[in-house]
Every structure is written in C-alpha cells, then in structure tokens.
Amino acid sequence: MKKLLVFAVLLFFCVRAQAQTATTTISIVAPASLGTVTPTPTKFYQNVAAPISFASSTNGFNSSCTATFGATALPVTYNSTTFALAGTVTAAMVSGVVNSTVTITISCTPSPLTMNRPVVLPNAKVGAAYSASLQTVTGLFGGIPPYTWTISSGSLPPGLTLGSSGLITGIPLSSGSSGFGFTVTDSSSSALRRKAYVVAQRRKG
C-alpha cells in the first residue's frame, strides 16, 4: 500500500512537471508607430492560463487596438493611465505550444490628431534668442509619428523660422504681433491646421 502511494505521488509530480513545460520567448509583430513593444511575461507554460501586458515606447496604443496569439484572438483592454494593453492568455491557447515560438500580432487604428486650443506661444523679445516647440505648446496627440510642421499662411516675426520638427527659433528683429497658420502632418499624411500668434516685444532699457 505504501509503495502504491509513493508511486501515485511521483506520478502526480511527473504530470505536473509536464504541464509546466516552458514555451520559448514571445515574438511581437506590431505597427512601427508603437515603437518597441515589450510583453510581460515573455514565456508561458503549457496548459496554464496567465495574464499578459504590453508596453510600447510610444503613446500609440489606444482603445481600438486588437491582438492575436498565433491564429487565436487575444482580447486586450487599453489603460488610459498607464498607456498599456492587458489581456489573458488562456490555457487553451498554450495547450499545444511546447518549446516553440508564438507570435503575438498587435493592430491599432491611430487616434485622430488633436491639439490644444487656442495655441498660445510665449512672447519673444527683440534681439534675444527665442525658442518654442509647437509640439509641446499644442499638446499634439494621435496620428502616427514622426510629424512634419509647416507654415500654411501668414508669417512669423522677422528673424524667426519654423523647423519641420515644430521648433520655432531665431532672434526677432522688430517688435509687433505676427499671426500665422501652421499645418502638422503625420507619417500617414493625416493633417491638422491651426492658427497662432507670436508677439515680439522691445527689450527694456
């Protein structure tokens, strides 16, 4: 009787060990706009369900994102606070996966381009170096980076220029208020237009 009991215990642990066979590292396929996507964890065990989360090096995740674990849909939710996706890999998904690579494919429809209104730029001073980022000031969000910024109407104060990265730099040559329109375009050719003003003031003294 004791021998049978010992055999049964050994059998239980053998079955348990087989069920815990680790798979290899997860492979991620995702849009370039998401940058580097890191899954946690990077390995799973056969027949064992486990939560999984994804973080990206950009803010490209949104509520429209979907994922598949191999050929099986992997339901995910978007956390607007952590900017990450989370889901659960079920036991059925990993039932036949042993020591092999599984590809998780993530698809996201980009959020529309949005920015703050109105666009308020800091004042400039005549004869003093000026620098202001439209991307920072406008709080630009959405689309697919990188972004390209251009002036579409009006002009900046003489001495200031707008770079394609959205950075306004230079040294104002004269005082006054200059209104201009600008356009920001993402890598998918989606565009957004706004107007802004820069006031160049004379330096006191």
Q: How far apart are CA 100 and CA 43, in angstroms?
A: 10
What are the extents of the domains in the chain? 22-107, 119-201
Q: How far apart are CA 82 and CA 76, in angstroms?
A: 14
Query: What type of residue sits at position 32?
Result: A
Query: What type of residue sits at position 158?
Result: P
End-to-end CA distance of the chain: 103
> How far does Cα 173 stand from its chain's mean position?
40
Q: Per residue of the chain (205 residues), give pLDDT as tens.
A: 444 343 333 333 333 444 456 776 799 999 887 889 999 999 998 889 999 999 998 877 888 899 999 999 999 999 988 889 999 999 999 887 777 889 999 999 877 889 988 898 999 999 999 999 999 999 998 887 789 999 999 999 999 999 999 999 999 999 999 999 999 998 878 899 999 999 999 877 5
| CATH of 119-201 among 2.40.30.30, 2.70.98.10, 2.60.40.10, 3.30.479.10 | 2.60.40.10
Burial of 30 (0-12, 13-18, 19+ CB in 10 A): buried
Q: How many CB atoms lie within 10 A of CB 45?
A: 18
